[in-house]
Amino acid sequence: ARGARGGCLVLGTANVDEALRGYYTKYDCSAADLNPIGSVSKEDLKRFLSWAAGRLGYPELARVVAAPPTAELEPTTEGYQQLDEVDMGMSYAELSDYGRLRKQRRAGPLTMFRALAAQWGPGSARGLGLDVVAEKVKFFFRMYSTNRHKMTTLTPSYHAEDYSPDDNRHDLRPFLYNVAWQWQFR
């Protein structure tokens, strides 16, 4: 906007799940002036885009929803495409569940395991073994605690939801953790 009065703002595009998992580079994609989707989960964003595609008449948004999530950090070649969920070791749906439990129910590892054992475990639609649920919860908390320090540099977000992990304005938990979780993972 050369010659225009005022300045321009750089908008960020990281969602709440990527922040919660630490799936971004500190001072790279976190270096923006405002992030309009920074407090919204990928699952909620997909629901909104699907709604807007049909209800508001923006059919191209349906293609965005259908596209596999990728940070495009590696070149796509024949037979290979970099995919966020593969790189993260968890799905965005799982991250959404972790984030809601962590923030809205104040769940630590044990409380989260108990909730997800009922939601994902034997007898549920997913039918995962309790050992698998336990490993998923442990992996999440290891990644969360390893990357929590990145939260101190998050771009300010519009807080449309109550599950944001943004520690500067919305979640005042510690940003440094003992990543071994030796007491919680016994």
- Domain contains 133: yes
In this model, does residue 1 exceed pLDDT 80? Answer: no
Distances (CA, A) of 135 to 36, 89, 113, 129, 185: 33, 11, 9, 10, 10
Percentage of the chain exceeding pLDDT 70? 94
Domain around 28: 16-153
pLDDT tens digits for 76-100?
A: 889 888 899 999 999 999 999 999 9
Which pLDDT does position 168 carry in this prediction? 58
pLDDT, residue 167, reads 59
Confidence at residue 29, expressed as pLDDT on a 0 to 100 scale: 72
Residue 158 maps to a domain: no
Task: State mean pLDDT over 141-158.
Answer: 87
Q: Is the pLDDT of residue 2 over 90?
A: no
Note whether 112 and 101 are within 8 A (CB).
yes
User: Would the pLDDT of 8 be above 90?
Assistant: no
Percent share of the chain, pLDDT over 90: 48
DSSP codes, 123-163: TSSS---HHHHHHHHHHHHHHHHHHGGGGGGPPPB---SS-
In a domain, 9, yes or no: no
**pLDDT at residue 169, rounded to an integer:** 62
Type of residue at 78: E
Closest to 73 in 3D by CA, of 140, 11, 10, 25: 25
Q: Are 137 and 118 in contact (CB under 8 A)?
A: no
The count of C-alpha atoms lying within 13 angstroms of the C-alpha of 128, restricted to the half-sphere facing its C-beta, is 17
Lowest mean pLDDT among 84-93, 111-120, 131-140: 84-93
Give the count of domains, the chain: 1
Q: What is the mean pLDDT of the chain?
A: 88
Q: Which residue has the tokens 């054992």?
A: 117
| Predicted pLDDT of residue 96 | 94
Q: Is residue 55 part of a domain?
A: yes
Q: Has residue 128 got a pLDDT over 90?
A: yes
Structure tokens at 19: 């922040």
Residue 59 has pLDDT above 80, yes or no: yes
Q: In CATH, what number is assigned to the domain containing residue 86?
A: 3.40.50.620
Tell me, yes or no, whether 123 lies in a domain. Answer: yes
Q: Is residue 177 part of a domain?
A: no
Burial class from Cβ neighbours inside 10 Å (0-12, 13-18, 19+) for residue 160 reads: middle
Whether residue 48 lies inside any domain: the answer is: yes
pLDDT at 5 over 80: no
User: Per residue, what are the HEC states of 91-133?
Assistant: CHHHHHHHHHHHHHCCCCHHHHHHHHHHHHCCCCCCCCCHHHH
11 in a structural domain = no
